[in-house]
Structure 1
Amino acid sequence: MKRAALWPDHLLPPHHVPPPWPGRAVRLDGTVTYVRDTPADGPDAEPALYVHGLGGSSQNWTDLAGLLAGRLDGQAIDLPGFGRSEPGLSYTIPAFAERVIRWIEHSGRGPVHLFGNSLGGAVSVYVAGLRPDLVRTLTLISPALPFLGFHRSLQGRMLPLLAIPRGERLAAWRLAQIAPEVMARQAMEACVADLSRISEQRRQEALEEIRVRYEAAHYAAAYVRTFRGLVSSFLRSYLPGPRSMWRIAASIQAPTLVVGGMQDRLVDVRVAPQTARVIPDSRLMMLAGVGHVAQVEVPRTVARAVLHLLVESGHGVSRPDVAG
């Protein structure tokens, strides 16, 4: 593990707030997967795939994908049951990883530069560890890898729900009691340390995403079942066996960037450094005053670290003015 370095800020595109990238519904293995495309605006761009976190969507990557479009031809997918994708049959980490693998194979774009946030980070670790042929580099932002201190996470309040038969019905009832505007604000407050960094456009888009959830009858069940699958993977990782997430992480061959927010309220802040220690070829960047979704809150900083990773790992043209 080493400290992440940053590409010069002045070499990034000027600051602006792009609208969500165009999306399309693709039928894959009998169900619809929703995909957003961020076309490259530079020559020799390489394919990238972005995977969102629990309760998120492909829209969480709008700013970062735009900043990286000079080097990467990006796609962001909605995992089964989230965003605008249809529900899945299973909501475990292996099941989500299989969908990501199938999408890479179906699209014919592999190997890709793989990005994952939170749940998407755990899924991406699984993909990179088990299918190294599909991954060029790996970027993990607040990855939801195993930790047992659930008191360190706002999600810990959901643990009793997992013990209730048909807990998803209770979750759906609770969802119906909260106005979309309130839910959007609560979600933003949980994920972002400094709300002043979030533009009004992004706030309105988050509200629209919440409204989409209210219209999806399957959403509450997908959320609860995914949280149950995530907790189960945490517990299994501390038992003997080849499917431990930490053992899989230790097998990753791809050059890796791990980003953590020091004000993360959803994943124990000690997880990002531990992840970087376990993955052999890793770089760590811990961001003071940043929460759970650094790619949303400080996308330029994350983009600078990613661009340096690309250059360092031979996926870009080296320049003499690279800054550490």
Structure 2
Amino acid sequence: MSSTELPASPTAAGAASRVHAVRVAEGERLRSVELPGLTLNVRYRPSGTPGRAPALYVHGLGGSSQNWSALMPLLEDVLDGEAVDLPGFGVSPPPDDGNYSVTGHARAVIRLLDAGGRGPVHLVGNSLGGAVATRVAAVRPDLVRTLTLVSPALPELRAQRNAWPTALLAVPGTARLFSRLTRNWTAEQRVRGVLALCYGDPGKVTDEGLLAAVEEMERRLRLPYFWDAMARSARGIVDAYTLGGQHNLWRQAERVLAPTLLVYGGRDQLVSYRTARRAATTFRDARLLTLPEAGHVAMMEYPEAVARAVRELIADRSGDGRGDGARS
């Protein structure tokens, strides 16, 4: 494994050119982790605070490590947090093997943790990232101290109507057709559509936040693999929903040993609020935070509430919320 610091500069050369126009919040840095057949971008917040426990944040479909920029600073005094761009998203290029399945993404997370020697970590995932984190916690319990899932993409018998386009995106050829049909849409139109779908109240997005999202959308649309990564990852979610046996995500949820925090939004249009009760009874050691006004990305809409719940989870796991950072 090799790791390269990526200055967020338009004039930077080599690997750093991939971060052109990528926003980096105050206190954040980016680095590129090179693994065989895989390169992952990692966003982190350096701090001199000793004894912090390691944490890894995993975003959802179409998201990136930027989705955690509101939550990470609220926990940086207790967590040595890193947020990863999954393969093909954010600044991470596509994987050499083209595997965008939930298992493929989980394998990327496991390889990152193994290579960095950071496990066990407090693992936090949203949507697709929640499904990925569930699989990681089930198959590699040695890597996970606690598990926090924000609107995790776990199989539903009756999917939300607004989630149907994601399933359709998984159909071969649909992504290319959609890209042609929407070629005249501006980046701002696309972003406003995503915000309306993902936020309980899109009005909570600041002008600066909207500008950053539009800039990021413009950057992504220039990537030659943008639609392919979206389509294949959507197909990976659909495939994961249909798997039976030991690979079924609910079966894997039953195997998770780590204390688990489940966060659900009452206005979530993509993951049904009804799923919260099943999840709370499926994970062995679970606690539930419901936010009636939140949508699909509670960590972006209500970061303070989510941070408080994560702190409580960590404190219960470690006894004092800080001593968990030490490793033997």
TM over 0.5: yes
| 2:184 match | 177
After superposition, the C-alpha distances for 1:246-265 in whole angstroms (9 at most, x for unaligned) are 11100101011000000001
Q: 2:4 aligns to what?
A: none
TM-score (norm 1): 0.87
2:108 matches 1:99: yes
1:293 is the counterpart of 2:302: no
Displacement of 1:310 after TM fit?
0.7
Match of residue 153, structure 2, among 144, 157, 181: 144
Q: 1:111–1:161: structure 2 CA closer, same or farther, 3 Å change rule?
A: closer
CA distance in 1, matches of 2:123, 2:39: 21
Aligned partners of 1:18 and 1:63 also within 8 Å: no
Kindly indicate whether residue 117 of structure 2 is the aligned counterpart of residue 108 of structure 1: yes
The 1:249/1:40 distance shift into structure 2, 3 A limit, reads: farther
Classify the secondary structure of the residue corresponding to 2:87.
Answer: coil
- Report the CA distance between 1:243 and its aligned residue: 0.6
Q: CA deviation at 1:171?
A: 3.2
Q: Which amino acid aligns with 1:199?
A: T
Change (3 A) 1:102 1:315: farther
Match of 1:159 among 167, 171, 180: 167
Q: Partner amino acid for 1:114?
A: L
CA distance in 1, matches of 2:181, 2:28: 31
Normalized against structure 2, the TM-score is what? Answer: 0.86
1:214 to 2:218 alignment: no
CA contact (8 A) 2:102 2:131 kept: yes
Kept in 1, the 8 Å contact 2:27–2:46? The answer is no
Deviates more, 1:109-118 or 1:207-216: 207-216
Q: Determine which structure has greater relative contact order: mean sequence separation of CA pairs < 8 Å that are 6+ residues apart, divided by chain length.
A: 1
Post-superposition CA distance 1:252-305 (Å, at most 9, x none): 010110000000011111223321210000100110111000000000000000
2:200, 2:295 within 8 Å by CA — same for their partners in 1? Answer: yes
2:87 and 2:70 mapped to 1: Cα distance? 23
202-211 or 97-106, which deviates more: 202-211
- 1:30-69 alignment, distance < 5 Å: 30-40=37-47, 42-69=49-76
Q: How many residue pairs end up in the alignment?
A: 297
- CA 1:71/1:256 → structure 2, altered by over 3 Å: closer, same or farther? same
SS in 2 for 1:242: helix
- Counterpart mapping for 1:1-324 below 5 A: 18-19=25-26, 21-40=28-47, 42-88=49-95, 89-150=98-159, 152-163=160-171, 165-236=172-243, 239=244, 241-314=245-318, 316-317=320-321
Q: Which amino acid aligns with 2:167?
A: L
Whether the aligned pair in 1 keeps the contact of 2:150 and 2:264 (CA below 8 Å) is yes
Residue 112 of structure 2 aligns to a residue in which SS? helix
Name structure 1 gaps, 5 residues minimum: 1-16, 319-324
Q: CA RMSD in A?
A: 1.8
Decide whether the 8 Å contact of 1:80 with 1:87 is kept in 2: yes
Which runs of 5 or more structure 2 residues have no equivalent in the other structure?
Answer: 1-23, 323-328
Partner amino acid for 1:271?
T
Comparing 79-88 and 121-130, the one that deviates more: 79-88
* Structure 1 residue 317: Cα displacement: 4.5
Cα shift readout 1:121-165 (whole Å, capped 9, x = no counterpart): 000000001000000110000000001313x241203434444x4
Q: Distance in 2 between matches of 1:172 and 1:315?
A: 51
**Paired-residue identity, %:** 42
**Counterparts of 2:99 and 2:46, CA distance in 1:** 31
